[in-house]
Amino acid sequence: MIDPETIQRIKDAVRIEEVVGEFVSLKKRGSNYIACCPFHNEKTPSFVVTPAKNIYKCFGCGKAGDGVRFLMEHEHYSYQEALRYLAKKYNIDIVEGEQTPEQRQKQNERDVLYHVSEFAQKYFADLLYNDEMGRAVGLNYFHGRGMTDEIIKRFGLGYCLDEWRGFTDYARKNGYSDEVLKTSGLTVFTDEGKVYDRFRGRVTFPIFSTSGRVMGFSCRILTKDKDKAKYVNSPDSPIYDKSNTLYGLYQARQAIAKADKCYLVEGNVDVVSMHQSGVENTVASCGTSLTVGQIRLIRRYTKNVTVVYDGDKAGVKATIRATDLLFEEGMHVRMVMFPDDDDPDSYAQKHGSTMLQEYLRDHEENIVLYQLRVMQDDVKNDPIRKAEMLKDIVKTIALVPDLLERSEYVKICASRFGMSEQTLQRELANALYLKAQKEFKASQDKNGQPAVAEPPLSQEDAAAPASAVSAPEQVAVPTVSPQTAALYNMFPDELQENKIIRLLINNGNQVIKQTVKVEGGKTEEHAEYVAAVIVGDIYNDGLTFDNPIYQTIFNAYAQKLQQGTLLDSQFFVDNPDEQIRSTALEMMVEPYTVSDQWEKLHHVSVQHPENHVAEDVENALNIFKLRKIDHKMNDLAQQFKAAGQDEKVLEALLQEKMALLAAKKELCAQIHCVYN
C-alpha cells in the first residue's frame, strides 16, 4: 500500500496533458488541449484538458477528473494500480505505508499465494506444449476445439498430468510449503493423510484478476467419467473470491468498454471460443450462479448485458432469477438462446466464426418478451400455473427502470394472456410498492449509507487490509440519485444557484474585504475568505438550493468551514460521485459559460471575477436572495387567496409581505438595478 505522502508526490508530479496524451491525440487550443472524447462517440471535440488545473473534462458525456481518475476510467485500473503506473512514469519511488506486523503477514501470505498460482500456471502451460502426454491429451483437446496457439497463450491455458502428485512434488522442490499449497487449493490434503494434485488429469483455465494476476483455476476433465465433476474449481482463498470474479474479464474488459456491451455465457470454453471467434466482449460467471458482485464488476465497464443461454432449455425460472438480479442492479438486459443442444462453442465449431457472430446478432432479443413467450407455451390451459407465472413476470416487469417500457410490457402481457390491463396494472403497482419498501428497508439497514455499495476496484484491493490507503478521502455527503439529477435542467433558479457555486469553487479560498455595519451606524472593513462569506450569508438567512447537486457542494464547503478549514478543489477532482465531480470540474474548466446569459436575463453587469471578486460575491448573493424572496412572495399570494375573509390571517400576511418588499428594495438598491 502506498503511503499518503507518496500519493501526494505522485499527484504533484502528474502533468495531465502527458497522461491523457498517451492515449488520446490532443490539440492545443489556447491554454487548454482539446480532443474527441475517448469515453463517448463524437465527431467534434468536446473533451478538454486543462493543464492549469491539472484536470480533464468532457462537455459531451460529463466525464471529468485528474490523471489518476483518467487511468481508472480509461484503462480500468484500480486506484492503487493507477498510482503505481504514474509513479513509474514519473520515476517516483514508492514508499510502502506503515504496516502492522499482522498486516505485513497478511500481505506476505497474499504475495506467496499469487506467486504459487503464477508458478502453477506456468508449469501447466509448459506441460501442454513440452510434455508428451500434455501434447497428446491437453493440446490435442484444445486444437480439436479449433483453438489457436495464440488464443491458448492469451488465456494461459495448460494441462495438469494425470499423476497423483506431479505438480505438488515439483512445487515442494521449488520451496513452496504444504501450508501454501493447501490454502491455494492447488493440492488436496485429506483427513486420511492423502496428498494429491487437485487438477490432475484436467485441462487448466487460470482465472485472472482484473489487473492480470493469476488467482485460481477452473479445470475441465477430458474423460467421460460420470463419477467425476466436469469442472473442478479452486476453493476461495485470501486472493480468490468466486462470487466477485468473472472468467475472462481480464481479457475482455477493454472490448466490453469499447463495445459498451458484455456477453455473459455459461462456461469457460464458451468464453475462449467466443474470443477466438472475434467476440471478445465475453465473460462467464465461473463456478457459481450469477452474483450481485459479478454484475457490479460488469457494470464498471458497461450497463448492457446480453445473456447467452445454451439450447438445453434450462428452466425458465433460473432464467428469471438471473434476469431479476441484473435488472435490480440497473442493467439493460437482452438475451440470445442457442438452438437445441448447442452452445456458443459447439456452434462455432460446426459453423465457424462468421456464422457465430451472425447468429448472435440476429437472435438477440428482449428478455421480458422472451419470457412471456416461453410462459405462453408453458402454461397453456393450466390456470393455476398461469397465475403463478404471471406473478413472476410482473415482478420482473416491476424491475424494469423505464416507465414507458414497463407499461408496454403490461399491454403485451395482457393481450397474450387474455387478461385485463387494469388487473395487471394493479399487480404491477403492488410489485412496485413491495420493491420500494424493500429498497427503503435496505437503505435504513445501512444507516443512511447508500443502499448500493460500489464493488472494490480489484480483487487485490478487495482483500487488502482495511486500514490501507485504498481510496481517495471521502467526505460524507448525501448522494444524488440519477433521477433527481435528471431534473437538473428544470430548476428555475439554476443560474443564480450556479453562479454562487462557481464562486465557491473558483474563488472560495481567495480573501476579500467585507464592509460590515457596526454599532452607531459605523462601518468596518474585514478581510474574509469568499467561501466563509457565501456560506455564512446563506446560512444566516436559512436559504437552500433547489438543485440537489449544488446543495451537496454547498454542504461540503459548510462542513469544512465548521471544522475550521477550507475545502480543497482536490475534493472535487477525487469525488467518487460522478455528478458532483462532473458539475464541479465543468465550472473549474470554464468558469464563465453562463455569464452572458446571466447578464441578459437580469440586466446585471457581471464583473470579471478575478478583478472584482468582492463585488461579484455580493451581487451573486443578493440576486440569489432576491429570487428566494420572489418565491416567498408567490407563496404569500397563494396564502392570500386561501385566507378568504379571515382578517387576522390577512393582517399577518400583509405584514409579512411588507417585510419582504422592504428586503427586496434594499437588495435592489445594493445591486444598482431595477429588479422586477
Strand pairing report for 214-221 and 202-208: antiparallel
Stretch that binds Zn ion, among 58-66, 399-407, 583-591, 612-620 (CB under 5 A): 58-66
The three three-digit cell numbers of residue 143, written as one number = 486444437
Of residues 647-666, which lie at the interface with Zn ion (CB under 5 A)? none
Q: How far is the CB of 70 from Zn ion (least distance, A)?
A: 12
Q: How far is the CB of 427 from Zn ion (least distance, A)?
A: 41
Q: Which helix (H) or strand (E) holds 159?
A: strand 158-160
List the beta bridge partners of residue 49.
33, 56
Q: How far is the CB of 47 from Zn ion (least distance, A)?
A: 6
List the beta bridge partners of residue 47.
35, 58
Sequence-separated (6 or more) residues with CB below 8 Å from residue 611: none
Q: Three-state SS string across 508-559, please?
A: CCCEEEEEEECHHHCEEEEEEEHHHHHHHHHHHCCCCCCCHHHHHHHHHHHH
CA distance 397 to 390: 10
Among 13, 34, 61, 543, binds Zn ion (CB under 5 A): 61
Which residue, 163 or 578, is less far from Zn ion as judged by CB? Answer: 578
Which residue, 73 or 616, is less far from Zn ion as judged by CB? Answer: 73
Inter-residue contact 73 to 56 (CB < 8 Å): no
Which residue, 46 or 349, is less far from Zn ion as judged by CB? Answer: 46
Q: How far is the CB of 41 from Zn ion (least distance, A)?
A: 9
In order, the DSSP letters of 561-572 are HHTTS---THHH
Which residue, 58 or 538, is less far from Zn ion as judged by CB? Answer: 58
Among 11, 15, 40, 110, binds Zn ion (CB under 5 A): 40
The three three-digit cell numbers of residue 208, written as one number = 485472472
Inter-residue contact 397 to 390 (CB < 8 Å): no
The number of angstroms, rounded, from the C-alpha of 1 to the middle of its chain's C-alpha atoms is 23
Stretch that binds Zn ion, among 53-61, 85-93, 146-154, 396-404 (CB under 5 A): 53-61
Q: Three-state SS string across 428-494, please?
A: HHHHHHHHHHHHHHHHHHCCCCCCCCCCCCCHHHHCCCCCCCCCCCCCCCCCCCHHHHHHHHHCCCH
Instruction: Describe the strand order of the beta sheet including 214-221 as a list of residue ranges.
Output: 158-160, 202-208, 214-221, 231-233
Of residues 20-39, which lie at the interface with Zn ion (CB under 5 A)? 37, 39
Q: How far is the CB of 332 from Zn ion (least distance, A)?
A: 19
Stretch that binds Zn ion, among 52-60, 77-85, 369-377, 479-487 (CB under 5 A): 52-60
List the beta bridge partners of residue 243.
none
Place of cell 508458478: 119
Count the site residues for Zn ion by CB under 5 A: 6
**414 near Zn ion, judged by CB under 5 A:** no
Q: How far is the CB of 521 from Zn ion (least distance, A)?
A: 56
Which residue, 39 or 231, is less far from Zn ion as judged by CB? Answer: 39
Q: How far is the CB of 39 from Zn ion (least distance, A)?
A: 4
Which residue, 58 or 297, is less far from Zn ion as judged by CB? Answer: 58
List the beta bridge partners of residue 512.
528
Which residue, 257 or 337, is less far from Zn ion as judged by CB? Answer: 257
* Main-chain phi, psi angles of 641, to 5 degrees: -60, -45
Burial class (CB in 10 A: 0-12, 13-18, 19+), 243: middle
Of residues 484-503, which lie at the interface with Zn ion (CB under 5 A)? none
Residues 327-366: x where in contact with Zn ion by CB under 5 A, - otherwise, as a string: ----------------------------------------
The number of angstroms, rounded, from the C-alpha of 212 to the middle of its chain's C-alpha atoms is 20
Distance between terminal CA atoms of the chain?
A: 59
Which residue, 34 or 495, is less far from Zn ion as judged by CB? Answer: 34
Q: How far is the CB of 42 from Zn ion (least distance, A)?
A: 7
CA distance 102 to 109: 11
Q: How far is the CB of 36 from Zn ion (least distance, A)?
A: 9
Among 58, 116, 584, 604, binds Zn ion (CB under 5 A): 58
Which residue, 34 or 180, is less far from Zn ion as judged by CB? Answer: 34
Q: How far is the CB of 302 from Zn ion (least distance, A)?
A: 15
Q: How far is the CB of 564 from Zn ion (least distance, A)?
A: 38
Among 3, 15, 36, 60, binds Zn ion (CB under 5 A): 60
Which residue, 60 or 238, is less far from Zn ion as judged by CB? Answer: 60
Inter-residue contact 245 to 196 (CB < 8 Å): no
Q: Which residues bind Zn ion (CB under 5 A)?
A: 37, 39-40, 58, 60-61
